[in-house]
Structure 1
């Protein structure tokens, strides 16, 4: 443990003088399967903040604990194999496949959050685009399930809402994505009442390791996910932009009764200050419908790859053989 923390000092990485460290997370055998590990990890946040500590770091040694930590919003800051430990003269098998991770919180949620990225007033209505706070995650998931899954082209064609396994898997995907604290939330405020009306699920993605690394389950969700993987394999946005990290997004939606105010374009524009605050120079997204593609173009996005539903069908995916309906991989540079 000392070796991995020497290799990548979590204090320097996080810019902190104090951290919540841990050694020993365990659940009794007969109580496993209830995601108690993830709950215990999540409980570190209020514990930390009660002591004025902004972040936590842990050496995670097994696959199960590593998966649990990722689901709770931890980032792999450093990875070493047992072979590397053996090469240091320690008594471990020379195994390159078994790895140990140093996990750290990706983004601090402190007194500066939620940060407001855009705000404006029209008549007696105030609009705000800000960080999505943890207490509104369930409301955000409800919006994604109720509105995004019925409207988004690939999800609708794949009948994702009718596939319980897919619905559970994509919900977990979104929940883990939200743990990065990079999602944009749009609020409407009238007479002091603030309502979440739209959002964009954003994550910091690395060319070396995509986030979140969660198993994609369910025929419909696999069908949707493989379409997005295919277009990004055809034209790698990291290589195209010359960047090692990007702001990626999956899930831009505005509730039906709040459409017509160009909130989608406003949310897209808010990616710029969000990205720059994290040292990111560009963003990339697969836009699947004509309306979102037009909105992205108006917001300064550039199309770098176009794939028709017919091409997806030719790849063995479950889409109609339609040459006229296309998905677009679009990017925008901020610097």
Structure 2
């Protein structure tokens, strides 16, 4: 199971938090083309990301939306615990937009709760409570059982994700696809 005692740790030679890519948006926002960057989620932003995922991912993600997950507080709290746990791996990514107000803090545009998954462990080391989230994890387990990625890739560790969410107003702001590739963990 993925927990604080897992065998993988982020190499000390890789700066944390690291900015992985910067890019200019395609569409103006309030008369200005915005600047974005993708970086590791720093420790002081983790709870903000958990709230961001709760407010956006739980509302819009297809399985969450169709099951009415937000109407099941126990399921919501299970997901919040899972996000807190996976973010401890220090491989989660956030995309920020530069705030046009020079005194304002960067705006969280997107988050990807990536984490390291070991071949013989469960997705997260928490008790999955709440009927809606149990249905979601059961569905995901069926899909994962269809093809064993560890065997296919001949590895003991994979970069996995427990949710990607982009605010609607920021979708489609990068034309070359490079940021998407970096953001979803193909690098």
With normalisation by structure 2, the TM-score equals: 0.82
Residue 153 of structure 1 and its aligned partner are, at CA, apart by 1.0
2:165 corresponds to 1:253:
yes
Residue 236 of structure 1 and its aligned partner are, at CA, apart by 1.3
Structure 2 residue ranges without an equivalent (≥5): 26-31
1:83-115 Cα distance to aligned partner (Å, 9 max, x none): xxxxxxxxxxxxxxxxxxxxxx83378993211
Structure 1 residue ranges without an equivalent (≥5): 1-66, 78-104, 274-335
**Separation in 2, partners of 1:126, 1:190:** 9
**Separation in 2, partners of 1:213, 1:111:** 26
1:159-196 Cα distance to aligned partner (Å, 9 max, x none): 11100110111110111011111101000003444111
Q: Aligned to 1:176, which of 85, 90, 96?
A: 85
In structure 2, the partner of 1:91 is none
* Structure 1 segments (4+ residues) deviating >6 Å: 108-111
In structure 1, the partner of 2:110 is 198
The 5 Å alignment of 1:60-209 reads 70=3, 74-77=4-7, 106-107=9-10, 112-122=15-25, 124-191=33-100, 192=102, 193=104, 194-209=106-121
Aligned length: 174
With normalisation by structure 1, the TM-score equals: 0.48
| Aligned partners of 2:24 and 2:174 also within 8 Å | no
2:146 corresponds to 1:241:
no
Distance 1:124 1:260, change over 3 A: closer
**Separation in 2, partners of 1:220, 1:109:** 38
**Separation in 2, partners of 1:160, 1:204:** 25
Cα RMSD for the two superposed structures: 2.4
